[in-house]
Every structure is written in C-alpha cells, then in structure tokens.
Structure 1
C-alpha cells in the first residue's frame, strides 16, 4: 500500500483504536500455583512435548527426582506443569526427530494430556515439518494450488484437526495459527512480502478454529520476544490488514540471541514488550516458547522465574503464562541443548521453577 508516512500513521492509529475497542527477579519471588495467581486468575505453566511419543517409542525411560521410572506426564505435573503444547504437521515423515506429529498423533497426545488434567494448546505449523523464522515450507500436498484453493486448504485442514479433537472430547484452550511467523507462513503466498494474502490465510485458520469452538483463543506467534520494534512492526501490519487473533504469543530464547548473552541483559526488554503489546493492541500476551541451557540448570531456573514474573506483571491480568519448549527432550536423545532434562534421565533443577513457592 503506497500511503505517505503521515497518512499511514493516521490510518494505523484509527485501526489500533478500533482493534482495542472490539531488573533480574530473585528465585524467592512468589509465583502462582497450578490454579491461579494471587488474584485467582489461571496462570499457564506449560511444556511443549511434541517429542514425547517418539521418545517413548524409542524406549527412552523417564525418571523422577528419586530415580524411579515414571510417566513423563506425572513428572511434569509434579513439577507444576498444568498445560501442554502440541505441534501438528500436515503430512510428516517418520523421522524420529524431524517427523511424526500427524493429526492422528496430535489428537492421541491431546486425549492423553486431558486425562492427566492438563490444559491444551495446539500449534499449527502449516507445513510437513518444522516451521520457524528461517523456513516456512508449504505442505507438499498444497504445492501447485492457486490462492483461493490454498485458503480452502488452510480452512479444511484446521477444521479437520479441531473437529477430530472435539470428537475425542478435547477442546483446546488455545490454538496457534502458524509457528514463529515473523516472516509469514506457507511461502511464498503467505510471506510478509504479501501481507494482504498472509492476513487472509490467518483469517481462514481463525475462522476454522472458531467454527468448532468459539471459546478457543487464537494466538499469533512471533519470535524474539525481547525485540519490541520487531513486534510493533509485525502487529501494526496485522492490524492494518485486519488479521484476526486473540492472543499475542512470543518466543524468548536468550541463548539464540547474537552472542548468547545472559538473560539478565534482555529480560527487562521482554517485560517492557509484554506490557507494550498488551496495551497497544488490547490483547492478552503469553510466552509460548522459552528455554535455557541444560548444562546450566541454575541459570535456566533463574531465567524461568524471571520470565514468569515479567508475564505476571502485565497489567489487568493480560499476561497468561509461560511454556517451556521441550523440557523433556533430553540432549542424549534429541541432541538439543536447551531441554530441562539431564543425562541421568531425570529433570534438572531448572524445571523446579514452575513449582509454587
């Protein structure tokens, strides 16, 4: 759109108005328990556990703090986790690390999570494998479809997963339409180079979610939660192009920032961005991905305490909670350095950050 800067700012201010109307924390900070914070508001303490079924199928054994083999769900629950996040891929491979997470597998895991009394978030990648800021590969089955057909693909796929969950008695509390979509999703049509098309794709996902259950909240998710300019630019564009959503989701990984700086150098920026997003767009906010080094459990513990505190400090109870990405994904199995599990098969001290004080 070829607006002058002044015209654009006036338009954006009106759009935002309409849209709104429709320092390091100590480990001694009081954090909420599983049922809510001090005001009684439910606070998410979550774990993304997409690798769990593959880990179990490969024979990996989880041990509790006492060295007793136990269901991973029990261990997570005993550490204060009350929510699980599950990714879903369109037609994934059987690769143990980079595959699985099909519709059927995701539904099965969601049913299991419900039996453990967990709240549930579903993360639609709209790809056959990982989607993130570096790659948003269109599902192979959708390649060659024109744009109207692509819109239909998104709606039908989203609706199918949601209906499949409902048929098994599961209603997700939250659904992500896209994963870390700073540059868009379903390239090339859904790139942020084509914001109008991206917004239409987002809105098809939104509509499908709400068609199955209007109470499920839709999240739009961008990485680098400490980067306010990144978020303002993205969500200003989402507003101008009328993208529909309920919650702003953030990733926060100090380890992946340039130079892997200690979290103390960016935690205040995260806190300020959380507050700014909530006030600027009138939306709830959540850290839907976070993680720290598995071999630095005390530092990761401190970081998790600080992140939870920053989310809690968002005014008007708009800070919903924090989700650790694959805490159970032990490096010995996944080769991933940011889990919260040790080589002994037990959770590290980092996971204790989700326990009530």
Structure 2
C-alpha cells in the first residue's frame, strides 16, 4: 500500500541487527512462543512504527495512559504483525526505513509479545505496488539471471537473519501487490514466464530457510474476480509455486462503500480457494479514519467473509498501518485518533 543509500552491504546490516538482538536478550524476557498456528489471524502492518517512535510520536490507551503501540493492538484482539522489508531504503520519515536490520528488530519485538509474524518482501528500495515496481538501485543493471539470484539471496539472507534472532515468520509474501509483476521491466506480468521464475526463486529461498513457512502471492482489488482469475490462471500455467493467495481490499480506493462490494470479496475468496485449492487471506484492508463506524462495520464484514471460506481456508485479515495517524503520516486510511489513541473501529478485531 501507500500510494540516502547506506554505505554498508546487506550482510553487514544484518549482522548489526543480530548483534543488537543478541545484546538485548540479556535484558529482556525469553521470546514468547508463537501462538497456535491454526487460529484465525487478525493483525496489522506496522512498517511506520519505528520511525514514528524515532520522531517522538507517543501512543495512548483510552484511559490516557501511555503504552506500547503493539500492546495496544494486541489488546484489541490482534495476534499478527506484518512487516514490509526494503532492500536498501533511505532514511526518509514516511518512505524510508524498513531495512532488513530494522525488520529483524521489529519482528523480535513483536514476537516477544506473542504476535505471529508476516514478512512482506517488496524487492525494492521503497514502495512497490500496482503503480510502481522499481528495482533496487543495487540491482538496476543486473541481467535477468542476476535478478533471479538477487531475489533468492535477499530473501534467504533476511529470513536467515530473522531465524538467527529467534523468529521464524509464519508467512512470507514474495512481492507486494503484483498484478503488473515486479522488478520491472524484466518481471512484468506481460512476460509472465519471467515473473514466474522470480516468484519461484522467492519461494525456494523461503522453503530453504524453513519448509513450514507459507508463501503468499499478493494481488490488489480483492473484490475483482476477473483480475484474480487472470493472474492466478497465468500463475498456474507458468507453474508458480505458492501456498496462499493474498488480497488487498480498499473500498476507499475504488470509490465505493464496502456494502457495494463486500459480497464480491466474499465470492472471490471462495472462488480462489476452490479454483486453485489454496488458502486465502486479506493481507491489506483499511477504511477512512473519519468514518469510524463505517470502517468498523466494514472490518466486521471482511472478517466474516474470510471466515466464511469453506474448509478453514480463510486464514485472516490484516489492517494496513492502523497506527499511522494522519498528522504524522498524511494517510487517510489509518485507524488512529489525533490524541494518539486507537480508533474504536479497531474493536472489530476483538471478536
């Protein structure tokens, strides 16, 4: 979602993260075991959180007491944290950070609270989404064969660093909102055979670290069945390897109230699960922060739609950046109030 390069290579950055984690272990409790993996996942993408805290933003509970943002989310029924990871990001407040090293630190922190972890690989130095899939600067001149190796090695290195720090993610996204492909132009979906090879390298790297990690392939407009059939028919024809179909659902961006498209979302979820024999998950959802009741009602409806997928193939629902309060982020679809407190809309995750 979300419409100064470092001087050290990835390995040095990852080692720094591991050292930080190791030094912290003596002062912190042991990592809480991951909850039962078969529970319905309710969660949030919180990629902005470290930089919000670095700029001094404070989070509060409804009684006015200052609290850890992750604890506030957990108190509202969330059990999952999704973290995007960029290859070599800048230090920009809203469009930077999310480096491999920072991702390791955040994942350790979330897991210590008993949260399940999803890692979202953008394979870029900044935002990757349907409008842009820019190669990392360090990969810009690489051949297609090099890019395949880049995807494998980057994925493997980040997941290995996480595992060394005591975190094995439950899910890994290979690419972020990729109806048009990734790592343009070589990985455009107009050349699906090459996109398939890149996706499979991410899958293979993930399974090499831990075969139990579920790999997600993620497409936007979860209510658009035609788009999903086109993409995943091509994925099947090109032998793409994956475990879960990930969907975004943002009524705001398609300029329609959720009541007009929620049945389309539910039907698409069921169709994807049956047509491709895959599990499905809404990995991004959000509503206008000014429309609290509407957003809460939408979340209740989305959770219900995912749970309605037969044979327990509907895995969960993830809110994209609820903590990204408007005055800090400029993002309209956050779920936080101007006083630093969570929006009541998030109470939809309590049940």
TM over 0.5: yes
Distance in 2 (alpha carbons) for counterparts of 1:261 and 1:101 = 31
Distance in 2 (alpha carbons) for counterparts of 1:252 and 1:120 = 20
- Give unmatched runs, 5+ long, in structure 1: 1-33
Check if 1:69 corresponds to 2:66.
Answer: yes
Once the two structures are TM-superposed, the CA of residue 41 in structure 1 deviates from its matched residue by: 4.3
Aligned to 1:80: 77
Question: What do residues 91-116 of structure 1 show as CA deviations (whole Å, max 9, x unaligned)?
Answer: 00000100000000001000001101
Distance in 2 (alpha carbons) for counterparts of 1:344 and 1:113 = 24
Aligned to 1:25: none
Distance in 2 (alpha carbons) for counterparts of 1:72 and 1:340 = 12
Equivalent residues of 2:322, 2:334 under 8 A apart: yes
Q: Give the counterpart of 1:326 among 321, 336, 340.
A: 321
Aligned to 1:19: none
Q: Give the counterpart of 2:292 among 286, 290, 297.
A: 297
Question: What do residues 221-250 of structure 1 show as CA deviations (whole Å, max 9, x unaligned)?
Answer: 000000000000000000000011000000
Equivalent residues of 1:35, 1:43 under 8 A apart: no
Equivalent residues of 1:41, 1:317 under 8 A apart: no
Q: Give the counterpart of 2:333 among 318, 321, 338.
A: 338
- Give unmatched runs, 5+ long, in structure 2: 1-33
Once the two structures are TM-superposed, the CA of residue 293 in structure 1 deviates from its matched residue by: 0.4
Distance in 1 (alpha carbons) for counterparts of 2:85 and 2:175 = 10
Q: Which moved more, 1:292-301 or 1:65-74?
A: 65-74
Aligned to 1:12: none
Equivalent residues of 1:49, 1:328 under 8 A apart: yes
Check if 1:254 corresponds to 2:251.
Answer: yes
Aligned to 1:205: 202
Aligned to 2:175: 178
Distance in 2 (alpha carbons) for counterparts of 1:141 and 1:177 = 19
Aligned to 1:48: 45
Aligned to 1:142: 139
Question: What do residues 58-105 of structure 1 show as CA deviations (whole Å, max 9, x unaligned)?
Answer: 000000111111110110110001000000000000001000000000
Q: Give the counterpart of 1:264 among 249, 259, 271.
A: 259
1:88-167 to structure 2, matched below 5 A, reads 88-167=85-164
Question: What do residues 276-306 of structure 1 show as CA deviations (whole Å, max 9, x unaligned)?
Answer: 0000000000000000000111000000000
Distance in 2 (alpha carbons) for counterparts of 1:250 and 1:207 = 22
Once the two structures are TM-superposed, the CA of residue 204 in structure 1 deviates from its matched residue by: 0.4
* SS across alignment from 1:215: coil
Equivalent residues of 2:35, 2:115 under 8 A apart: no
**TM-score, normalized by length of structure 1?**
0.88
Aligned to 2:273: 278
Distance in 1 (alpha carbons) for counterparts of 2:35 and 2:166 = 22
Distance in 1 (alpha carbons) for counterparts of 2:91 and 2:209 = 29
1:224-239 to structure 2, matched below 5 A, reads 224-239=221-236
Q: Return the structure number with greater relative CO, CA threshold 8 A, min gap 6.
A: 1
Equivalent residues of 2:187, 2:194 under 8 A apart: yes
1:182-197 to structure 2, matched below 5 A, reads 182-197=179-194
Q: CA RMSD in A?
A: 1.2
